[in-house]
Chains A and B, each alone.
Chain A
Amino acid sequence: MSIFLLLPVLVPFLTAVVTMLFWHERLIQRRVNVVGGIAFFVAALGLLALVWRDGIQATQIGNWPAPFGITLVADLFSAIMVVMAGLMGLVVAVYSLGSIDERREAFGYYPLLHTLLMGVSGAFLTGDMFNLYVWFEVMLIASFVLMALGGQRDQLEGALKYVTINLLSSALFLTSVGILYSVTGTLNMADLAHQISSGAVDSGLATVLAMMFLVAFGIKAGLFPLFFWLPASYHTPPIAITALFSGLLTKVGVYALVRVFTLIFVQDVDYTHTLLMVIAGLTMVTGVLGAVAQTEVRRLLSFHIISQIGYLLMGLGLFTELALTGVIVFMVHVIIAKSALFLVSGIVRQVAGSYDLKQLGGLYRTNAGLAALFFLPALALAGLPPFSGFWAKLTLVRAGLETEEYAIVAVSLVVSVLTLFSMTKIWAEAFWKDRPGQDEAFQPLLSPQRIALLGPVIVLAALTVILGLGAEPLIDLGTEAAAQLLNPSEYIQAVLGDVA
């Protein structure tokens, strides 16, 4: 059934090509964009259902046997990530209809959007280190152009920083891949895992390589102390793009970290995973403290992306089945809640004309519905019951208590409180307080735009509640996926067949 593994890559590819063929026909592009978004999401769900039913799926591209050819693999973790990419793709594709201006549409916004999605799902599905590099580049090149598209001064300056840092990280990634190949003679992830676990590679050397990958992926994921490019660039493009970047791009970095630190580099867990945990704590704290100081909504939320990455890394550092379950549940939760907040802030900008908390106010009185749409994901992000974030954080905290890592648990709880504080700040400033300078009236949303903007946000806000009240299926799925991550032999067998 290799077609299911292929579709999440092929569907965005075809959507990008078809939108490019209709370069001058804006209406057709918009329609194809939505159809492609739906098809991608459905394809991703199909893959998840297949992996849930039949276990890990693998296909050898071009029928070249592993480890010589390129392998596409989907375990549950990959499949869940692909589904999240599909959800984000669909949501942003619809939201873009109401928020992206005609000039950007005329210069290839939709082809780029779907190329980005192709790169993301390729990165989630590949089973080969060099191929992962290639998918990273596909994704990055599309994201570079999306960030600069429009050409405002801020965008160009933000893009310059983003491009520079990412190219540096790519060069480091490529270097690490080269050395990895010279040490092990293979780049197939399953084969790498097999070689390193069977002791064919000196464990000290493997740890050095692990650190190189940690830095390369850490830059992309926005870890402490490598995150400074993120709040300097993420707020500059239109909000639909910011939401997509915050939902997917840093998460691809985290995905790569989880993949290599559960499958390949598990030879010296005491050292590597303790280090991961220290970085996790620092990432959380610096991210949330940076957020407290901000008054611009998009910059504030950008800093929160960083602190949330810390939670994901904490689970990886704890490295138990419960902790990895927490990582997966948290990943699903944070992608939904974070993007919902960005998209709501875009609507706030549309209605009240600003992203600046000092100039906003009084929205609760006139737009109670919008206020509710902000309120739900904000509380979810802070981790209050009964929203999705509560279960995610509870799982991580329980995992921390079980392994007696009290320090990181304490840090994560303090950071939660601070997150709640900065969500309250947005609430109080933008929605609750009186509006400074009452002269201009709020802009009402017009009807077709209304659906395109509010629809996606309502879906995401509803999901934070649904995943909170009915968390059990997601936690079951996460537990199953975590069990697969902790037992690499299943993965290796799916790719290589029976070895040793």
Chain B
Amino acid sequence: MDSVVLRTATRYLLPLLLLFSVFALLRGHNEPGGGFVGGLVAATAFALYAVGYGVAAARQLLQTSPRRLIGIGLLVAASSGLIGMAWGDPFLTARWDTREIPVVGKLGTPLLFDIGVYLVVIGVALTIIFALIEAEEEA
């Protein structure tokens, strides 16, 4: 699709959407939001870019393949479960740092798990969206 309006809008929306996705990710533990929603918002940002500028450009912007994001996300999520085991607790037991950080709140393994979910959701959504747009471009 070749639209100046969409391209210009995307240039301004992309950073906003990504920032909002991180915001949703961070507030997710106690309030509406979380890794799943944040990941979807981030995926929308890249999908918008792919529609405006083409999949090749969007892939370049992403720097890595969506499939790799899925893999890394799964590893991050699994590692969040393993951290608690170092203290002899069962798998996926949450560990919290006691210090409070502005905006983010307390740091803990559930946040790490959410980051994993965030990456997996971006990866899955973009794998599907890129494949669909590419099929369209070829046809």
Contacts and interface: CB of A to CB of B under 8 A. Distances in A.
Name B's interface SS: helix
Interface string B71-89: 1101100100000110001
Interface in A1-35: 2-3, 6, 10, 13-14, 17-18, 20-21, 23
A17 B93 contact: no
Contact of B72 (A3, A6, A21, A59): A21
A60 interface: yes
B42 to A, nearest CB: 20
B91 A21 contact: no
B93 A62 contact: yes
A62 B70 contact: no
B85 A23 contact: no
B78 A21 contact: no
B90 A61 contact: yes
A62 B74 CA distance: 17
A61 B67 contact: no
A63 B67 contact: no
Contacts of B89: 63
Contact of B90 (A2, A13, A23): A2
B124 to A, nearest CB: 12
Contacts of A21: 68, 71-72
B91 A62 contact: yes
Sort A-B residue pairs by CB-CB distance and give the 4 closest, nearest first. Answer: A21-B71, A62-B92, A63-B93, A59-B90
Name A's interface SS: helix
Contacts of A17: 71, 74-75, 78
Q: How large is the interface on A (under 10, 10 to 19, 20 to 34, 35 or more residues)?
A: 10 to 19
Contacts of A10: 78
A21 B75 CA distance: 10
B94 interface: yes
Interface string A51-87: 0000000011111000000000000000000000000
Nearest to B85: A3
Interface in B47-74: 65, 67-68, 70-72, 74
B34 to A, nearest CB: 17
A50 B67 CA distance: 37
Given A2-B85, A21-B68, A63 B90 contact: yes
Contacts of A60: 90
B78 A13 contact: yes
B83 to A, nearest CB: 12
A18 to B, nearest CB: 8
